[in-house]
Amino acid sequence: MKSLTVVDHPLVQHKLTLMRDKGTSTAGFRRLLKEISLLLCYEVTRDLKLTTMHIETPMQEMEAPVIAGKKLVFASILRAGNGLLEGMLELVPSARVAHVGLYRDHDTLEAIEYYFKAPDDIADRMVIVVDPMLATANSAIMAIEKLKERGANNIRFLCLLAAPEGIKAFQEALPDVPIFTAAIDIKLNEKGYIVPGLGDAGDRMYGTK
Ligand code: PRP
Ligand code: URA
C-alpha cells in the first residue's frame, strides 16, 4: 500500500533550488512556492477519474472529458501549507478547503493543534493535504489523523521536502496515504530541521525571522 512519488520534473527541481538558496527574498520565496505548487498539483491529480459531458463546439456536438465525482478538498497545514494551497486553488478553483492549524513545539518537536475547520462532507471527497515540509512527520500525522476522525478516507499528502526519518514515521503511521514530494533530503539535524533543506518554511514565507 505504501506509495512515495518524487516529482523530479526539471522545472520543479530548478524552482526548488532557488527556494533553498538563503539569498532568495521573502517575495521571491512566496512567488516560487506558488509556481511550484501549480506543477505539483498537476502531478498529484494526474490519475483523477474522468467522465464525459455533452457539449457543442462551434463545429459539432461531442462527449467531452471532465473530472468525475465530487470536488476535491485541499487541506492546508497552517501556516506554511497556505503557500501551496494558493497555487493549487488557482488550478482547481472549485476545490473545497480544510485548514488545520498546528505548530511544532521547538523542544519536544511534538505538533500542537490550535485550529481545525473542514467541510462536513469530507468523507465523500478526495483530500489532498498540503504542507511544504515533512520533517519528523509529527505535524502531518496529527493533521491526517484529525481529518480521518472527521471521516476523510481518500487522502494524499503533498510536500516540497521530505526527510527520510519523516517518510519512515509517516508510512508506519499512515501506510494508506500516498506521499508526493519534490525531493527527499539527507536527514534531520539535532533540532529537527531538514538538511540541506530550506530553513523554516513559515518564517521564509512570511518574513517572521
Ligand atoms: C513546519 C512545517 C510543518 C512542520 C514540519 O511548521 O510547515 O508543518 O514544521 O515539521 P514536522 O514534520 O517535524 O512536524 P511549523 O511548526 O514551523 O509552523 P508554521 O508553518 O506555522 O511556521
Ligand atoms: N519545518 C520547517 O519549516 N523546516 C524544517 O526544516 C523542518 C520543519
Give the number of other Cβ atoms within 10 Å of residue 163's Cβ.
Answer: 24
Q: How far is the CA of 61 from the centre of ligand 1 (A)?
A: 50
d(CA 100, CA 115): 6
The predicted pLDDT at position 70 comes to 84
CA atoms 92, 181, 150, 99: torsion sign: negative
Domains in the chain, CATH or no CATH each: 4-46+72-206 (3.40.50.2020)
Radius of gyration of the chain (CA): 18
- The neighbour count for residue 187, using CB atoms within 10 Å, is 12
Question: Which residue has cell 513545539?
Answer: 105
Active-site residue among 5, 24, 31, 203?
203
Q: How far is the CA of 8 from the centre of ligand 2 (A)?
A: 21
Told to judge if 104 belongs to the known catalytic residues of this protein, a careful annotator would answer yes
- The strand pairing partners of 77, in sequence order, are 100
Given the DSSP bridges, would you call strands 133-134 and 127-130 parallel, antiparallel or unpaired? unpaired
pLDDT at 55: 98
Name which residue sits closest to atom 4 of ligand 2, judged by CA: 200
Q: Can you read off the three cell numbers belonging to residue 74?
A: 485541499
**pTM metric for this prediction:** 0.97
According to the model, what pLDDT value does residue 137 have? 98
Would you say the CB of residue 200 lies under 6 angstroms from ligand 2?
Answer: yes
User: Which one from 108, 121, 176, 208 is the annotated catalytic residue?
Assistant: 108
Residue 66's alpha-carbon distances to 49, 123, 129, in angstroms, are 9, 22, 23
Mean pLDDT by 10-residue block, N- to C-terminus, for the chain (209 residues)?
94 98 97 97 96 98 94 96 96 96 95 97 96 98 98 98 98 98 98 98 93
181 is catalytic: no
Active site residue 200: yes
Output the pLDDT for position 114.
Answer: 97
* Catalytic status, residue 108: yes
Pocket test for ligand 2, best of 198, 203, 204, 208 (most atoms within 8 A of CB): 198
136 lines ligand 1 (CB under 6 A): yes
Residue 133 CB less than 6 A away from ligand 2: yes
Q: What phi and psi values does residue 82 have, to the nearest 5 degrees? A: -60, -25
Using the mean position of ligand 2's atoms as its centre, give its distance from the Cα of residue 199 in Å: 6
CA atoms within 13 A on the CB side of 176: 8
Output the CA 153–ligand 2 centroid distance in Å. Answer: 27
Q: Which residues contact 75 (CB under 8 A, 6 or more apart)?
A: 81, 97, 98, 99, 100, 118, 127, 128, 129, 130, 143, 147, 152
CA distance 141 to 170: 6
pLDDT at 209: 78
